[in-house]
Chains A and B, each alone.
Chain A
Amino acid sequence: MADRGEYKREGDEEPEEEVDESDYKTQKDAIILAIEVSDSMLEPPPASGSKKADKDSPVQAALKCAYQLMQQRIISSPKDMMGILFFGTEKSKFHDEDGRGGLGYPHCYVFIDLDVPAANDVKALKSLVEGADAYEHDDDDEYEFLKPAKERVQMANVFFCANQIFTTKAANFGSRRLFVITDNDDPHPSDKSAKSAAAVRAKDLYDLGVTIELFPITQGDGSFDLSKFYDDIVYRDTGGEGNLTEVRSSKSGDGLTLLNSLISNINSKQTPKRALFSNLPLELAPGLRISVKGYNVLHRQTPARNCYVWLDGENPQMAIGETTRMAEDTARTIDTSEIKKAYKFGGEYVYFSPEEQKVVKDFGSPIIRMIGFKSGASIPFWASVKKSTFLFPSEEDYVGSTRVFTALWQKLVKSRKVGIAWCIVRTNANPVLCAVVPSRESSGEDNGTPYLPAGLWLCRLPFADDLRDGPAGGCDSAPVCASDDLVDKMRVIVQQLQLPKGTYDPTRYPNPALQWHYKILQALALEEEVPGKPDDSTEPKYRAIGKRAGGYLQEWDERLREETKTVLGTRKFKRELEDDDDGVESKPAKRTKTASAKPSTSGMTDAELRFAVASGSHNKMVVAGLKDLLVSRGLSSAGKKADLIERLEEWAEESI
């Protein structure tokens, strides 16, 4: 019974994850990577003797980066779109179906049209990345589109081309972004009208709701001067967070290849920053409210659900499922308007009208209300039920929110305190109690989580209802305590096997099951050979462990053996004594049979039980006693007596 409950509940939690209903736009993201093709962008870095030196030209690095990004996005956001546009090319190409051809946007080449990536797109990009050598020598026609144009491309055209792609392909996406990768900080040095035209087209993109993200590439000691051109193109973050996020340029050097530098810059912008909730009032004290936004910085990534494929057509096609509802008694189809919500009660239904439902569930409007503060240490380690939400201030509803938020954050960090808050994060969301915990500045020395942003976190606390009891009878006898000597031996081992920097760094541990799933899928989709063995970085490094602590482990084991012997000895002695006591106490006749069976079953050790099964005396046990025995060994206690006995016998066989 209990077991089944666990599984069912997993599904029930779903509604909590819903995005804000009032936001009707699809919560999807579309990215166009616009990569400039020019002589300087195609030029590989000067050759150097070092093996590790950069070999990629900027375009190559950008393509490799795009390839990686595309693979990542298929895993992390399977519904999001991506496209690749080259500009400054000799050839021009727009949508295939559009009659205009390349005429409208000269020197713009749509390499991969904006869409959810298909296996073919991945393939095309892959072959471009792998065939890198070919296009550097101008002898291959296949890569002719990577030939730079003789005249300058009009940036206005590039922007309008992107505008058209976004308008037609991702019309009502919640997030649309144009990533511009270029090394040219001044595309129109002497042409003022071209510059203004570009600014106007950039404004169009802004009005369309497209964000332009610039990824400048610099080579050698060169710098990328935004004021020459791009300051007229790029707009301030509409998030209203006041502060600017700087534009970082990618370059080779400092032990970092251009590729790595570009990947890290693009990765930081990979996922669009979607707020889980916006402008939620945070009531710090009666009469003092500020507004905050919440972000899902941590989110368990899982493989997409399986789908059903229709194979009878020309191409395999996904079948879209539709649900119809019907009444259980008559099996007639039901219209949505007929559906009512009722609670099961004693085998029947108890009904509330929708208005009454509202009254029942009404705990007030959305808010995070601080009810006081506790020391961080007062929150037990196990007080965790859900991933936490990151909070960041927003000036939109209350001017001054940021400074108050910062003051609170600084105080909590300094005094190692946490806030306790009553939270209703959305209309109709269930109220919960949360600890408001500060994360530290990422550059701080003793920060254990440098990969997470600094701010406050809403950590949901369990209610008394969410606590589970430990194992049945787990506390019946005092724990067996290891001696100081044994603990000392283990301490050495703990000391020897510290993880790097003594912290857990999630970036070192990709999810092996998720990676494997998509690796196989990719191979199947691209019709490549299926890889043989997965990489699993979550497996313990056995060799290192053996090398660093093997000897200590042996020492610990020897000591453990000795102590086990002593403990077993005293135990046995004690038990005999207890048994004697028992015998004296439960003398008085009559209930002998059950009375003697009962105490012995619950306290039976594995060895005793195995003996009982072997001798057949378990057949004489009462059902309740059998159930106790089964439950205490983690086995099911369902069924008739014969089932229970059988299960016990199975256990005895297996556990030898």
Chain B
Amino acid sequence: MADKQASVFIIDVGTPMGDCHNGRVQSDLDYSLRYVWDKITTIVAASRKTWTVGVIGLRTDETRHIDSIQDEAGYENISILQEIGPMTMSSLKDLQAVIKPSNTETGDALSAIVVALQMLSTFTKKLKYTRRVYLITDGTAPIDADGMDQIVEKADEDGVEVIVLGVDFDDPEYGFKEEDKPTQKKHNEALLKDLVSRCKDAHFATIAEAIDEVDNPRIKTTRPYKTYDGLLTLGDPKDPKHPSPMSIHVERYFKTKLAAPPSASTVVVKSGQQTTQSQHLDGEEMEGIEGITNFAAVKQARNYKVDDPKAPGGKRDVEFDSLAKGYEYGRTAVHISESEWNITKLETTKSFSILGFVADDKYEPFLSMGESCMTVASKYDERSRLALSSLIHALYERSSYAVARIVLKDGKDPLLVLLAPCVDPDFECLYDVPLPFAEDVRSYQFPPLDRVVTVTGQTLTNHRLLPTDELSFAMSNYVDAMDLDTFGKNDNGQPAEYAPIDESFNPVIHRINQAVRDRALKSNGKIEPIPPTLVRYATPPEDLIAMSKREINSLIEAAEVKKVPPKAKSKRKRETVKPLSGLDVDALLDAQPKRPRLVTRDNAIPEFKQAVSSAMDMEHIQEASKQMGEVIRGLVTDSFGDSLYARALEAMSVMRTELIELDEPDIYNAFARDFKKRLLAGELGGDRREMWWKVRTSRLGLIDQTQSELSGVTSEEAQEVCETQSSCHCVRLASLPPFPSRSAMHLPLGQRMRKLTRPSVSQSKVAKSTRCNDFTVLLK
């Protein structure tokens, strides 16, 4: 909003504010400041020059405010801590430093309000501003009620909102009453309440209530955005013979628009500061600075390359200015000269026209393609207002929606929207949502849910994939029991919808805002947990669950759902490898003449898969893996530029997945280490660093313990091996993680193999270096 704001906070910093009361462990001042900081940081976060803040300290040790009244009696111990002005991070830091409990016990709150009003009137003059004065006090210092009338008059005349927030003030509405209240405080509370009741726009509350508000997300309001302003037509108004009379002047506004969570910017530590800061700053402060100030924004620059077989690396840079604009048609580049650039654009003129009407019960919410808008008649055009009203009511009475084509501006692409009537006693409009075009609907085929069709074409209604009557019954009861339509409560305590849209807040937006504000105030503070209001709808309401216990249990019983243990997943897949006829192709394979090699380059992937799945012993798997490794290295060696990299990567990925499933991660890991070594040493046909980069980005590095229990590699190690920077990968090769001892590898595969335990650490340590050598030899 383009509104201008000026707020003055009067903060009581008298000595008693430093004490703790009513069982709190925070001092009254710190407690109250939670509210103040929240307000102020919200303003800082907005970084708006027109949102201004002034701060006055009440009961400060010194007196320093407006010259003209500074020396008058009754105006002592009031200080302007910050003149009204925009808030920044640094002014926030300054304020934090000066707002501390003082050694003073007196100071007149009403005088402080006078100072605040004076500041406001000087700063805002007669301009359009939202003016506010916040008074935060514990009300323990004497207040002189003289001149209250003038204060009220001044506040009303200038249009200032006065907000009085008292520490432990009584508030029957909120339900708070302080026992054994000192007389002075009682007196002051009454006095301030009286002030508030006499002002036109003023509020009085106990600070606890205000602090409660802090945790409630506040929604950033955006000025209504008009997406279209023009005619809504039915029929052709430009028809030469019978022009259609229906053209209504309308305005269309956003109804919903996704609010984006604050996004983190990409920054970099400012150069030259890293080394100097520690010299002149001490511990805590340094961290503060580090967390906040010395970052520089990052800019992006684009440069363009084309393929050139003659250039090193097969690519060369081209000047941006020498490039023509164009589009891709398949893999053909079609360039279009600047003067003809609009040739592919459909010529359109701004319009909003109705195509026809549909029945509202044929529409389903999942058909909508995005954000909704609302259309109202132009405000000052009576004819249009009447005309639109008749359309809205006609649609409503006929239970119909309208399909319309809208072009927001001349030259914009047409969109189809569905218009629905909204008839409220005090508001009428047409809501609309965007509809899909023919190209936007993908024809995916899914089997029917409520029946099973067998291979022979029979339809079954009784099957493990279909619910039993018992399950359907239990589900029906459960769904009915968990009804939210009346589970919530409205303000009057009547049953109402639970989790209505206007009470559900985007958790991410408010979570990040909260964390950023906290961090701005305390740069080294811990991250606070997520406020419960943000995750209120993450789980079903507990009461409802408790009430529906019986339905839940019978549903679980009837469902008989079983979790598939993670291990079994891969094995299950293996069984199903048969064509529709169930023909045993593996048997056919065995019957074929033995091939000289297990894995050849031409048909590497199928052959490798078939070789390992039919492998009877460990040696067979090792042999297949060894040959697969050869194929992969061969592909890389023979690759012209990156022409064969994709094949090599695919082969690696198959090898990796298969070996994970066979519980032989170490075979792959040994291959990968050796492969990297050779790649970087240039043994595979020159500079192949790009290939390794692709291995990394395709996540084909070492198999770590999170991917296979039997891997001896931690994820940190796997990560490290992936880095290309290290010049000492040979050293690391020597500290290879343990693998199963060689003798174990000769054991026949099968049930017993899976039961094998890993060699103990000490054992493996001893044998490490020799084994490592063995393996490299094996893979050569």
Assess whether B327 is in contact with A511, with CB atoms less than 8 Å apart. Answer: no
The listed residue (A284, A455, A556, A561) touching B390 by CB distance below 8 A is: A556
Render B296-330 as a binary contact track against A, CB cut-off 8 A, 1 for contact: 11111111111110000001001010111111111
Interface-side segment among A6-14, A38-46, A146-154: A6-14
Residues on B with C-beta less than 8 A from A486 are: 386, 389-390
User: Once the chains bind, are B366 and A439 in contact (CB under 8 Å)?
Assistant: yes
**Contact of B537 with A by CB under 8 A:** yes
Q: Tell me if B265 and A349 are in contact (CB < 8 A).
A: yes
* Interface presence of B552 (CB below 8 A): yes
The contact of A538 among B268, B405, B471, B700, by CB within 8 Å, is: B405
Contact digits for B408-447, partner A, Cβ 8 Å, 1 yes 0 no = 0000011010101010011111010101111111111111
Q: Quick one: which of B381-408 are within 8 Å of A by CB?
A: 381-383, 385-387, 389-391, 393-395, 397-398, 400, 402-403, 405
Q: Is B761 an interface residue (CB 8 A)?
A: no
Q: Complex Cα distance A393/B465, Å?
A: 10
List A residues 4-23 near B (Cβ within 8 Å). 5-6, 9, 12-13, 22
A30 to chain B, nearest CB (A): 12
Question: Taking the complex as formed, is B47 at the interface, i.e. its CB lies under 8 A from any CB of chain A?
Answer: yes
Please, how many angstroms separate the alpha-carbon atoms of A454 and B449 in the complex?
A: 7
The closest CB in chain A to the CB of B697 belongs to A24
Contact A464 B504 (CB under 8 A): yes
Residues of B in contact (CB 8 Å), total 254
Q: In chain A, what residue has the closest Cβ to B307?
A: A317
- Expressed in whole angstroms, the minimum distance between the Cβ of B21 and any Cβ of chain A is 33
Residues of A within 8 A of B398 (CB): 491, 494-495
- Say yes or no: A388 contacts B368, CB within 8 Å: yes
Q: Which residue of A lies closest to B388 (CB)?
A: A482
Bound complex: CA A244 to CA B540 (Å)? 36
In the assembled complex, the Cα of A490 lies from the Cα of B105 at a distance in Å of: 75
How many residues of chain A are within 8 Å of chain B by beta carbon?
275
Q: B235 to A12, Cβ gap below 8 A?
A: no
CB distance from A380 to the nearest CB of B (A): 8
| Closest CB in chain B relative to A436 CB, distance in Å | 10
Consensus secondary structure, chain B interface: mixed
Quick check: B239 and A308 within 8 Å, CB to CB?
Answer: no
Is A202 within 8 A of B245, CB to CB?
Answer: no
Which chain A residues border B733 with CB–CB below 8 Å?
none
- Complexed CA–CA distance, A12 and B509 (Å): 14
In the assembled complex, the CB of B338 is this many whole angstroms from the nearest CB of chain A, namely 12
Q: Are A388 and B362 in contact (CB under 8 A)?
A: no
Q: Are B437 and A509 in contact (CB under 8 A)?
A: yes
Q: Are B450 and A341 interface neighbours, CB within 8 A? A: no
- Asked if A74 and B454 make an inter-chain contact with CB atoms under 8 angstroms apart, the answer reads no
CA distance A410 to B476 in the complex (A): 9
Q: Is the CB of A439 within 8 A of B364?
A: yes
Assembled-state Cα–Cα distance A296/B440 (Å): 10
Per the bound structure, the CA–CA distance linking A30 and B548 in Å amounts to 50
A407 near B467 with CB under 8 A, answer yes
A269 in the interface (beta carbon within 8 A): yes
Contact in complex: A324, B301 (CB < 8 Å): yes
- Indicate whether A463 sits within 8 Å of B446 (C-beta atoms), given known contacts A243-B465, A431-B538: no
Interchain CB contact under 8 A, B538 and A369: yes
C-beta contact mask, A360-392 vs B, less than 8 Å → 1, else 0? 110110000111111100111111111110101
Is B610 in contact with A372, judged by CB distance below 8 angstroms? no
Q: Which residues of A contact B444 (CB under 8 A)?
A: 271, 273, 295, 297, 390, 453
Question: Looking at A9, A117, A234, A545, which has the most chain B CB atoms within 10 Å of its CB?
Answer: A545
Q: Which residues of A sit under 8 angstroms from B433, Cβ to Cβ?
A: 381-382, 384
Tell me which residues across on chain B come within 8 A of A448, comparing CB atoms: 359, 361-364
Residue contact B304 to A321, C-beta cutoff 8 Å: yes
Known: A115-B331, A398-B563, A540-B355. A360 touches B527 (CB 8 A): yes
- Distance from B627 Cβ to chain A, minimum over Cβ atoms (Å): 16
A245 to B442, CA, bound (A): 17
B213 to chain A, nearest CB (A): 15
Partner of B516, one of A209, A236, A343: A343
Indicate if the CB atoms of A243 and B447 lie closer than 8 Å. yes
The answer to whether A584 has its CB under 8 Å from any CB of chain B is: no
The reply to whether A511 and B439 form a contact with Cβ atoms under 8 Å apart is yes
Chain A residues lying within 8 Å of B144, measured Cβ to Cβ, are none
Chain B residues in 8 Å Cβ range of A370: 482, 540
- Tell me if A540 and B296 are in contact (CB < 8 A): no
Contacting pair A200 B386 (CB below 8 A): no
For the complex, give the distance between the alpha carbons of A232 and B472 in Å. 38
- Cα–Cα distance between A454 and B556 once the two chains are bound (Å): 24
Say yes or no: is A267 at the interface (Cβ < 8 Å to chain B).
yes
Q: Does B560 contact A (CB under 8 A)?
A: yes
Q: Is there contact, CB below 8 Å, between A341 and B538?
A: no
The contact string, 1 if C-beta is below 8 Å from chain A, for chain B 614-630, is 00000000000000000
Q: Whose C-beta in chain A lies nearest to the C-beta of B126?
A: A594
User: How far apart are A393's CB and chain B's nearest CB, in angstroms?
Assistant: 8
Are B296 and A606 in contact, CB atoms less than 8 angstroms apart? no
- Chain B residues whose C-beta falls within 8 Å of the C-beta of A642 in the assembled complex: none
A residues 294-333 with Cβ under 8 Å of B? 295-301, 303-304, 306-313, 316-332
With A309-B323, A345-B44 as given contacts, are A430 and B414 in contact (CB-CB < 8 Å)?
no
Is A121 interfacial (CB 8 A cutoff)?
Answer: yes
Most buried by B among A200, A328, A371: A371
- Please tell me if the beta carbons of A340 and B267 are within 8 angstroms of each other in the complex: yes
Q: Is B276 an interface residue (CB 8 A)?
A: no
Structural contact, B293 and A466, CB atoms closer than 8 A: no
| Stretch of B647-655, B677-685, B713-721 with 4 or more beta carbons under 8 angstroms from chain A | B647-655
Assuming A290-B561, A334-B268, A461-B501, is B260 touching A369 (CB within 8 A)? Answer: no
Q: When the two chains form their complex, are residues B269 and A507 in contact, meaning their CB atoms are under 8 A apart? A: no
- The docked-state distance in angstroms from the alpha carbon of A406 to that of B434 is 30
Partner of B426, one of A419, A422, A475: A475
Decide: B505 and A463 in contact? CB cutoff 8 A.
yes
**Does the CB pair A330–B449 fall under 8 Å?**
no
CB pair A117 B331 closer than 8 Å: yes
Which of A88-96, A250-258, A520-528 binds B?
A: A520-528
Q: Are B438 and A310 in contact (CB under 8 A)?
A: no
When C-beta atoms are compared, the residue in chain B nearest to A204 turns out to be B606
Asked if A455 and B449 make an inter-chain contact with CB atoms under 8 angstroms apart, the answer reads yes
A435 at the A/B interface (Cβ < 8 Å)?
Answer: yes
* With contact pairs A203-B589, A339-B298, A506-B437 given, residues A356 and B472 touching in the complex (Cβ less than 8 Å): no
1/0 per residue, CB under 8 A from A, across B328-363: the answer is: 111111111000000111101000011111110111
Give Cα distance in the complex from A414 to B545, angstroms: 23
Chain A residues 332 to 353 lying within 8 A of chain B, measured CB to CB, are 332, 334, 338-352
B234 touching A553 by the CB < 8 A rule? yes
Given known pairs A271-B443, A300-B369, A512-B414, the reply for A401 and B650 (CB within 8 Å) is no
**Contact call A360/B364, Cβ cutoff below 8 A:** no
Assess whether A597 is interfacial by the CB under 8 Å rule.
no
Q: Assess whether B498 is interfacial by the CB under 8 Å rule.
A: yes
Does A400 sit within 8 A of B, measured CB to CB?
yes
Q: Which of B92, B367, B498 contacts A346 (CB 8 A)?
A: B92
B379 within 8 A of A: yes
Give every chain A residue within 8 A of B527 (Cβ-Cβ): 352, 356, 359-360
Report yes or no: A346 in contact with B47, Cβ–Cβ below 8 A: yes
A297 close to B442 (CB less than 8 A)? yes
CB neighbours (8 Å) of B225 from chain A are 2-3, 6, 468
Once A6-B225, A119-B330, A322-B304 are accepted as A-B contacts, the answer to whether A338 and B268 lie under 8 Å apart by CB is yes
Report the 4 A-B pairs with minimum CB-CB distance, sorted nearest first: A448-B362, A243-B447, A231-B581, A557-B245
- Other than A325-B266, A464-B503, give 13 A-B pairs with Cβ distance below 8 A: A9-B257, A344-B265, A361-B511, A361-B512, A373-B480, A378-B497, A408-B475, A419-B479, A430-B507, A463-B504, A470-B427, A480-B389, A504-B362
Offer 30 A-B interface pairs, CB within 8 angstroms, sorted by A.
A1-B223, A22-B699, A119-B332, A203-B579, A206-B577, A207-B605, A243-B465, A244-B455, A285-B478, A306-B327, A307-B327, A309-B334, A310-B304, A310-B322, A317-B306, A339-B298, A378-B485, A383-B365, A385-B372, A396-B569, A407-B471, A459-B365, A468-B254, A479-B389, A480-B389, A494-B394, A503-B362, A514-B439, A525-B330, A538-B416
